[in-house]
Structure 1
Amino acid sequence: MSAPRRTLALAATLSAGALVLTACGGGGGAGSDGSVDLTMYYPVAVGGPLTDVVDDLIASCTEENEGISVEAVYSGTYADTMTKAQTASRSNQGPDLAVLLTTDLYTLMDGELIVPLSTLDDDLSWTEDRFYPAYLASGQAEDELWSLPFQRSTIVQYHNKDVFEEAGLDPEAPPTTWDELEEQAATIQDSGAAEYGLEIPSTQFGNWMFQAMAIQSGVEDTAGVDGIVDYLDAPGSVEALEWWRSMTESGIMPSGTTEWASTPEDFLQGRTGIMWHTTGNLTNVRSNADFDFGVSILPANTQPGSPTGGGNLYVFDRGDEETRAAAYTIARCLTEPERAAEWSMRSGYVATGPEAWETDTMVDYAEEFPQAAVARDQLEVAVGETTSHENGRVSQMINDTIAAVLTGQAEPEPALTQLQSDIDGVLAPYQGR
Structure 2
Amino acid sequence: MKVKLLALFSVLLAVFTLAACSSDVGSEEETTEIDFYFPVAVGGDVANMVDDMVADFEGENPDIKVNALYGGSYSETMTQVMAAVQGGNPPELAVLFSIDLFTLLENDVIEEMTPLFDEAYLDDFYDAFMANSKVGDKVWSLPFQRSTIVLYYNKDAFAEAGLDPEAPPETWEELVDYGKKLTVNGGQDQWGLEIPSTGYQYWMFQALALQTEDNIMSEDGKETYFDAPYAKESMEYWLDLSQEHKIMPEGTIEWATVPSDFLSERTAMMYHTTGNLTNVKDNAEFDFGVSFLPANNQYGSPTGGGNIYLFKDVPEKNKEAAIKFMKFLTEPERVAQWSIDTGYIATRKSAYETDKLKQYVEEFPPALVAREQLEHADSELATYQSGEVQKIFNDAIQSILTGGSTVEEGLAKAQKEAEEVLEPFQE
The TM-score normalised by the length of structure 1 is: 0.89
What letter is aligned with 2:380?
E
Partner of 2:80: 84
Write the letter of the residue equivalent to 1:44.
Answer: V
Is 2:298 the counterpart of 1:303? Answer: yes
Residue 223 and residue 335 in structure 1: after superposition, are their counterparts in 2 closer, same or farther (change >3 A)?
Answer: farther
Q: Cα offset for 1:178?
A: 0.4
1:99 paired residue among 95, 98, 111? 95
> Residue 160 of structure 1: which of 130, 146, 154 is its match?
154
State yes or no: 1:337 paired with 2:337: no
The aligned residue for residue 208 of structure 2 is: 213
How much does 1:244 deviate? 0.6
1:222 aligns with 2:231: no
- In 2, are the aligned partners of 1:58 and 1:334 still within 8 Å (CA)? no
Give the match for residue 49 of structure 2. 53
Comparing 134-143 and 100-109, the one that deviates more = 134-143
Change (3 A) 1:191 1:367: farther
Higher-helix-fraction structure: 2
Displacement of 1:353 in angstroms is: 1.8
Q: Superposition pairs for residues 70-149 of structure 1, below 5 Å?
A: 70-121=66-117, 123-129=118-124, 131-149=125-143
User: Structure 1 unaligned runs (5+)?
Assistant: 1-29
2:128–2:374 Cα contact (<8 Å) kept: yes
Preserved CA contact (<8 Å) 1:223 1:385: no
- Given the superposition, is the C-alpha separation of residues 60 and 223 from structure 1 closer, same or farther in structure 2, using an over 3 Å criterion? farther
Is 1:320 the counterpart of 2:318 in the alignment?
A: no
Kept after mapping to 2: 8 A contact 1:207/1:395: yes
What is the aligned partner in structure 2 of residue 14 from structure 1? none
Kept in 2: contact 1:156–1:298 (CA 8 A): yes
Match of 1:348 in 2: 343
Distance 2:223 2:59 in 1: 43
CA offset at residue 223 of structure 1?
4.9
CA distance in 1, matches of 2:330, 2:123: 13
Matched residue, 2:367: 372
Would you say 1:257 and 2:278 are equivalent positions?
A: no
**Deviation of 1:289 (Å):** 0.3
Residue equivalent to 1:181? 175
What's the CA shift string for 1:170-203, capped at 9, x where partnerless? 1111101000000100111157795210000010
1:360 matched to 2:355? The reply is: yes
> What is the aligned partner in structure 1 of residue 11 from structure 2?
none
Change (3 A) 1:191 1:358: farther
The secondary structure found in structure 2 opposite 1:272 is: coil
Query: TM-score scaled by structure 2?
Result: 0.91
Q: Would you say 1:399 and 2:394 are equivalent positions?
A: yes
Residue in 2 aligned with 1:9?
Answer: none
CA distance in 1, matches of 2:57, 2:142: 16
Indicate yes or no: 2:269 matched with 1:292: no
Counterpart in 2 of 1:281? 276
Question: What SS does the aligned partner of 1:33 have?
Answer: helix
| Cα RMSD after superposing both structures | 1.6
Which structure 2 segments of 5+ residues have no match? Answer: 1-25
C-alpha displacement at 1:31, in angstroms? 9.1
User: 1:66: how far off?
Assistant: 3.9
Q: 1:275 to 1:299 in 2, by over 3 A?
A: same
Residue in structure 2 matching 1:200, options 182, 185, 195: 195
What's 2:22 paired with? none
Contact 1:120–1:325 (CA<8 Å) still a contact in 2?
Answer: no
Does structure 2 retain, via aligned residues, the 8 Å contact 1:224–1:386?
A: no
Structure 1 CA distance, aligned partners of 2:29 and 2:348?
Answer: 37
The structure with the larger Rg is 2
Count of aligned pairs: 400
Name whichever of 303-312 and 138-147 sits farther off: 138-147
Q: CA, structure 1 residues 195+39, in 2 after alignment: closer, same or farther (shift >3 Å)? A: same
SS at match of 2:44: coil
Question: Is the counterpart of residue 35 in structure 1 residue 10 in structure 2?
Answer: no
- The correspondence for 1:413, drawn from 389, 408, 414, is 408
Identity %, equivalent residues: 48
SS in 2 for 1:76: coil
- Determine the structure 2 residue equivalent to 1:16: none
Q: Residue 217 of structure 2 contacts residue 224 of structure 2 at CA under 8 Å; is this kept in 1?
A: no
Q: Distance in 2 between matches of 1:204 and 1:346?
A: 24
Residue-by-residue CA offset, 1:54-100 (whole Å, 9 max, x unaligned)? 11112222333342110111110001001111111101223210000
Q: What secondary structure, in the 3-state scheme, does the structure 2 residue paired with 1:37 have? A: strand
